[in-house]
Amino acid sequence: METVHLKINNIPVEVPKGYTILQAAKEANIEIPTLCYLKDINCIGACRVCMVEAKNRRGLLAACVYPAEEGLEVFTNTPAVIKSRKTTLELLLSTHHKKCLSCVRNNNCELQRLAAEYGVDEDRFTSEEPIYEIDDASPYIVRDNNKCIQCMRCVAACKNVQSVSVIGPIKRGFAVHVGSAFDKSLNDSPCVGCGQCVVSCPVGALTEKSQEDKVWEAIADPEKQVVFYTAPSIKATLGESFGLPVGTNVDGKMTAAIRRLGEGVKIFNMDFTADLTILEEANELIERVQNGGTLPMFTSCCPGWVKFVEHYYPEFIPHLSTCKSPQAMFGAVLKSYYCEKNNIDPKNLFVVSVIPCTAKKFEASRPDLRSNEAYDDVDVALTTRELARMIKRAGISFNELEEEDYDAPFNKATGGGAIFGATGGVLEAALRTAARTLDGEFKKVDFEEVRGPEAVRTVTYEVAGIKINVAVTSGLGNARQLLEKIKKGEADYQMVEIMACPGGCINGGGQPLLSDSIRNYVDYKALRSKALYDYDAAAEFRCSDESPVIKMVYDEYFEAPGKEKAHKYLHTTYVPRDKYYK
């Protein structure tokens, strides 16, 4: 490998040729501030916060795009550099809606942090602030362009990573701003709701549409029985909101915290319906393979992916599994089986899911997921961030809590359900159960070939004399490439798992917001995934069909996978959507 030698603040550094000054500085344990740069997403040198000085170079250089050169001498903290960064920050603040105390990003804002570090005068440059109408029409994302600093990270995430491109710069000069085509609301665009724009934003210009107050009202209502359930990935990410290291498993503390949000609040484990999804999905796959059904079968757990198909590839709708997602299945189970068993009027059961994804908010409101036309099965879908804010508002000392278990009867699940949160996890769990169903002597449990960071992972397994070709990908840009290959007949699979967010749910649009120093330099997706795979490895039961809770609900209510009652409550339909409408 060819390398170059340079000095950064008089520290000798050797880095691979092709590295930028920004990357080289990190090798010397020097962090250069950025606002527009985001690794693998956005590198345009637009914000000018990363400026540095170099010997024998005229003017300042943008470290995120300027290459590390042989013999280059770089200085990151000279008076000229400090003055430049401070002035740039003050210019950004001159048109920034400075409502920090009431902003959801207060104390977790990259602009706010840098302003404090550089001692800026927020009123040094005064101008007439442009006023933009807040776009809160969609059920999942709120855009406030009054806080936007035009770093274009959200645009890059939507275009470069997700290949959706529903937002971009509009107009020119001082009037430029980010929005959808023709300045329409995000709700009137073919946005899939994945939320990757939200987790890419360094300020508070993009947030999830909060439903915290609605949950507080339900908890205070004596007529309501409030039940929470948490998605598999939440246990691996919630702790970050309380200062714990990335990838810390806080399953027991999370359960204890939710129980303390209000009198009578119950907390169930959504890993249970991840297991339930597997039983239904494995049965569906086997039926399609054996009876000449539509193949490949696509997983349907991810609502961002499902909406992507409905908008952009409606011809593939028959390929989607008819299984509801674990979130939707749990809502249906609670407002049917659970209510009947406990003599509860479903209208008085307030169901709250805690999810890693902003698209789940849209999914919760889909009429085709209702098991009864009179009400939604899921009343509120909270992101990980919203749950963290509720715990903090309740004054709960999260890190001091003793671990507690989930409430019965939905307190037990398998390791197969837990790994749903990582890319490849749904397919691996389905393979475990499908293989055991087809061949009772099949012993393989860990399908490690479908795990990992590769853009697309393809594997062929042979079970009971049947060859099963599978593929896994995450990120809608990767999904688009895979779909195009399938359309052209260049790929032949029986089952395909696709997650809208790169890395799967552990990197969902509703997960805790990480600082640039973590997003750019730490493999946080691998750390979060590891927490789930470690949980799976230590689980009493590894395969979804082994779960005693699964056996209970089938024996008492659904009979068997694919049966009439199971199909009524646990399966759904999809609709083609015009690209320019909801």
- Torsion over CA: 270, 271, 272, 273 (sign): positive
Is residue 280 exposed (0-12), middle (13-18) or buried (19+ Cβ within 10 Å)? Answer: buried
Fold of 210-422+505-574: Rossmann fold (3.40.50)
Cβ contacts of 297 within 8 Å, gap of 6 or more? 284, 285, 288, 319, 320, 321, 494, 495, 496
**First-last CA distance in the chain:** 50
Residues of the chain with CATH 3.10.20.740: 3-77
The pLDDT of residue 265 is: 98
Q: Extract the tokens encoding 184.
A: 């329409």
DSSP code for 105: T
Q: Measured at the alpha carbon of residue 418, what is the angle toward residues 414 and 423, in degrees to the nearest 5? A: 135
What are the backbone angles phi and psi of residue 541, rounded to the nearest 5°?
-120, 135
Query: pTM (2 decimals)?
Result: 0.95
Residue with the two structure tokens 């989930």 = 406
β-pair partners for 457: 472
**Encoded tokens for 99:** 């409502």
Task: Specify the domain boundaries for CATH 3.40.50.1780 within the chain.
Answer: 210-422+505-574
What's the CA gap between 232 and 339, in Å, rounded?
24
CA distance 456 to 297: 16
C-alpha span between 57 and 119 (Å, rounded): 28
Right CATH number for 3-77 from 2.60.120.560, 3.10.20.740, 3.40.50.920, 3.40.190.10? 3.10.20.740
| Residue 458 DSSP SS3 | strand
Tens-digit pLDDT string for the chain (582 aa): 899 999 999 999 999 999 999 999 999 999 999 999 999 999 999 999 999 999 989 999 999 999 999 999 999 999 999 999 999 999 999 999 999 999 999 999 999 999 999 999 988 988 777 899 999 999 999 999 999 999 999 999 999 999 999 999 998 888 899 999 999 999 999 999 999 999 999 999 999 999 999 999 999 999 999 999 999 999 999 999 999 999 999 999 999 999 999 999 999 999 999 999 999 998 999 899 889 999 999 999 999 999 999 999 999 999 999 999 999 999 999 999 999 999 999 999 999 999 999 999 999 999 999 988 889 999 999 999 999 999 999 999 999 999 999 999 999 999 999 999 999 999 999 999 888 887 777 778 899 999 988 899 999 988 878 888 999 999 999 999 999 999 999 989 999 999 999 999 999 999 999 999 999 999 999 999 999 999 999 999 999 999 999 999 999 999 999 999 999 999 999 999 975 555
Cα distance between residue 445 and residue 432, in whole Å: 6
Q: Are 474 and 499 in contact (CB under 8 A)?
A: yes
99-208: CATH topology? Alpha-Beta Plaits (3.30.70)
DSSP 390-438: HHHHTT--GGGPPP-PPPSSS----HHHHGGGSTTHHHHHHHHHHHHHH
Which tokens sit at 538? 């230590």
Element (DSSP H or E) covering residue 385:
helix 384-393
Cβ atoms 318, 284 nearer than 8 A: no
Q: Return all residues near 554 (Cβ < 8 A) that are at least 6 apart.
A: 279, 560, 561, 566
Residue 454: the pLDDT is 84
Residue 511: per-residue pLDDT: 98
CA dist 76 and 61 (Å) reads 10
The whole-angstrom separation of Cα 207 and Cα 450 is 32
Q: What is the pLDDT of residue 437?
A: 81
Instruction: Note the pLDDT of residue 365.
Output: 92
Q: Cα separation of 486 and 576, whole Å?
A: 19
Residues in Cβ contact with 59 at an 8 Å cutoff, skipping those fewer than 6 apart: none
How do strand 51-54 and strand 73-75 relate by DSSP bridges? Answer: antiparallel
Residues forming CATH 3.30.70.20 domain(s) in the chain? 99-208
Strands 466-474, 495-499: pairing is: parallel
The SS3 of residue 147 is coil
CB 446 within 8 Å of CB 421: no
Q: Note whether 433 and 461 are within 8 A (CB).
A: no
